[in-house]
Amino acid sequence: QSGDLQGYAPICLGLEDFYIRRLYNRIQDCFGRPISSAPDAWFDVVERYSNDNNKTLKRTTKISRCLNLGSYNYLGFAASDEYCTPRAIESLKKFSPSTCSSRVDGGTTTLHKELEECVANFVGKPDAMVTGMGYVTNSAILPVLIGKGGLLISDSLNHNSIVNGARGSGATVRVFQHNTPSHLEKVLREQISEGQPRTHRPWKKIIVIVEGIYSMEGELCQLPEIVAICKKYKAYVYLDEAHSIGAVGKTGRGVCELLGVDTADVDIMMGTFTKSFGSCGGYVAGSKEVIQYLKYTCPAHLYATSVSPPAAQQIISAIKVILGEDGTSRGAQKLARIRENSNFFRSELQKMGFEVLGDNDSPVMPIMLYNPAKIPAFSRECLKQNVAVVTVAFPATPLLLARARICISASHTKDDLLRALEVISRVGDLVGIKYFPAEPSKQ
């Protein structure tokens, strides 16, 4: 360890799962407080500048303006936007911040109807239902779609909202190795015999759940292969596009567009509005019959207050910009920029010798730290140089697979990215996380 890093906790390797939680607690003890409140290592309370598309965070504990590499602001629609913001303000005046009602008790405004039509059209499905929160979309929909006697096969790294929904459904849950179609097929084959008609199988229905881009891995789903396997075994496909809708694909329509999958082959398309659209809420899109069924039965539709009207208006406006319906080419430019920025940043990090997970085109870029003691070190040293990064650790990742997760935005300029790379490179040397030899720079 270099002198600057003295005081960061040491780490033991090779412990059984049982001890992991205790080890983590021990590491927290070393800091004398939970890791998440180690001094100066986190931007736990922030202010935002409303006029720079969420590009900077002002930490309230220390007056410093940091480049924001942490928010899921993929297209830069968060905070002010020349098309979206005035319209959201108008809708606030017209409809108020909240409908104070569920969708079925007077909480359906003209905006909610327009939003559902707009989302269905954007994702390429006949119908859609929107809810007030992305997390709740998964956790409330799954128990309505499947129950006892059903089989849910879930990617091992699916988001907690999916895990929660799967557990609450009462269905039998099986997990397949992360993003590994051959293992999915093995699990399916174990559960059913090939070629049997659906009615002869031991399961009332089978749903396979995957994500478009994995939020902790930055990886694109192996969707074409997974869809082909689901077709072969007559299983339904449920796709969570929280991190891919709006962020990838030629016109921002997500992984189906990017990977050439027909949306007719994905039965349930779920997503959130908190990433690419700079808003709040979640959606589920599917056939008219499925969506109607969900609207009659899903507690998130029946018993929860509907999406806030300004949030709904923000989403409608953002989709219009993406599709060029605002009369400009800003949407296309944002899509080109997020792709360019992501691919540039990823390849520069790799050239520097960092271990970066994920695929090209993905704006989610985990930089592996491994050692949990390096988590606050990395975060703090970046913050000192006014770059705000998110670090992810146990229990969101296995204990020894800690990482920093960079989220790239279309609102980052080339200068922003160059400055961030310079800082991350310096901090990477200091903390000791360049695990590969650097490529010689071309002058």
At closest approach, how far in Å is the CB of 293 from ligand PMP? Answer: 21
Residue closest to 118 by CA, chosen among 265, 245, 301, 267: 245
Q: Which is nearer to ligand PMP, 99 or 131 (CB)?
A: 131
At closest approach, how far in Å is the CB of 129 from ligand PMP? Answer: 15
Distances (CA, A) of 37 to 66, 359, 380, 438: 18, 32, 11, 33
Q: Which is nearer to ligand PMP, 169 or 425 (CB)?
A: 169
Q: Which is nearer to ligand PMP, 274 or 379 (CB)?
A: 274
Collapse the DSSP code of 375 into the 3-class scheme (helix H, G, I; strand E, B; otherwise coil) and give the result.
Answer: helix
At closest approach, how far in Å is the CB of 160 from ligand PMP? Answer: 8
Query: Around 422, how many Cα atoms within 13 Å sit in the side-chain half-sphere?
Result: 9
Residue the block writes with tokens 């208006």: 313
Q: Give just the sign of the alpha carbon dihedral 338, 341, 347, 352.
A: negative
Q: Which is nearer to ligand PMP, 319 or 433 (CB)?
A: 319
Collapse the DSSP code of 31 into the 3-class scheme (helix H, G, I; strand E, B; otherwise coil) and give the result.
Answer: coil
At closest approach, how far in Å is the CB of 204 from ligand PMP? Answer: 25
Q: Which is nearer to ligand PMP, 73 or 161 (CB)?
A: 161
At closest approach, how far in Å is the CB of 193 from ligand PMP? Answer: 32
Token duo for residue 435: 């695990």
Q: Which is nearer to ligand PMP, 27 or 294 (CB)?
A: 294
Q: Which is nearer to ligand PMP, 215 or 409 (CB)?
A: 215
- Residue 197, preceding peptide bond in cis (omega within 30° of 0): no
CA 297 and chain centroid, separation = 26
Residue the block writes with tokens 């997020």: 338
Q: At 6, which amino acid appears? A: Q
Beta-carbon contacts of residue 435 (< 8 Å; ≥ 6 apart):
353, 354, 355, 368
At closest approach, how far in Å is the CB of 108 from ligand PMP? Answer: 21
At closest approach, how far in Å is the CB of 352 from ligand PMP? Answer: 27
- What distance in Å separates the CA atoms of residue 378 and residue 339, rounded to the nearest whole number? 26
Which residue of the chain is nearest ligand PMP when measured via CB?
Answer: 134
**Residues in contact with ligand PMP by the rule CB under 6 A:** 133-135, 138, 159, 161, 211, 215, 240, 242-243, 272, 274, 282
